[in-house]
Structure 1
Amino acid sequence: MNRGNQLDFVGYDPSTDEAYLIYDREKDYSLPIAIVKGIAALTGEQAEEIPPLHSVVNPDALDALFEPLAEENERPLGKVSFEYYGFEISVYASDVICINTSRADFDSDHPRS
């Protein structure tokens, strides 16, 4: 869940090596920024130090893909996956962002809950 500028991980599944977070488009930043902040939280880096997301996916298209179809009508289904900064990222229409860390090369002192 997003609280101000803080990004909290909802969970971590050690059997799949995946961190999960909830994205709430009503909060203060876009889906692409939530993804970058999620990677920053895992790696311990500042979001500004991470390569731009647009190097692998169009951020505007990603945001538009999961926008509601009409006012008060959320998208019930959908998933998009891509690799970014050594992580496998999956974004679901249910507002869950999954970050698979199994192939990523980063310091193991990252916050996993």
Structure 2
Amino acid sequence: METVTPTQSVSSNSPVTTVVELVADREGTDPMELQPPLYDVIDPEALNALFAPTSRGQSRESGQVSFRYLGYDVTVRADGDVSISNDTER
């Protein structure tokens, strides 16, 4: 049976920082040691821009983006939740 273990975090960090920290924690490594780096998978500036406050300074009310990184399914939501899960035991 496959295992799905989600991790969620609501953080004041940028979405990119949160993703990297969560994956590094799961991998048991330093965020700077992740290979390939996140920018090889998704544009970090674009990811942060998607969830940055509006031009009027308001928080984004909705939206999410999902992608795979180092074997994890990553979902970033407008409310700041970042979830990662994998479908196999490591």
Give the alignment's TM-score, normalised by structure 2. Answer: 0.85
Higher fraction of helix: 2
Which letter does structure 1 place at the counterpart of 2:15?
L
Q: Does 1:31 align with 2:19?
A: no
Contact 1:22–1:96 under 8 Å retained in 2: yes
Unaligned 5+ runs, structure 1: 1-14, 107-113
Shift of residue 98, structure 1, vs aligned partner: 0.5
Paired with 2:86 and 2:10, the residues of 1 have a C-alpha distance of 17
Count of matched residue positions in the alignment of Structure 1 and Structure 2: 87
Unaligned 5+ runs, structure 2: none
Counterpart of 1:84 (choices 69, 74, 81) is: 69
Paired with 1:48 and 1:72, the residues of 2 have a C-alpha distance of 31
Aligned CA-pair RMSD: 1.8
Which letter does structure 2 place at the counterpart of 1:37?
E
Contact 2:74–2:84 under 8 Å retained in 1: yes
Contact 2:10–2:82 under 8 Å retained in 1: yes
| Aligned match of 2:39 | 54
Q: Answer 1 or 2: higher relative contact order, Cα 8 Å, separation at least 6.
A: 2
Shift of residue 102, structure 1, vs aligned partner: 1.8
Shift of residue 24, structure 1, vs aligned partner: 1.4
Moved over 3 A (4+): none
Paired with 2:11 and 2:87, the residues of 1 have a C-alpha distance of 22
| Aligned match of 2:24 | 40
| Aligned match of 2:60 | 75
Question: Which deviates more from structure 2 when the two are superposed, residues 81-90 or residues 44-53?
Answer: 44-53
Q: Percent identity?
A: 29
Paired with 2:15 and 2:59, the residues of 1 have a C-alpha distance of 15
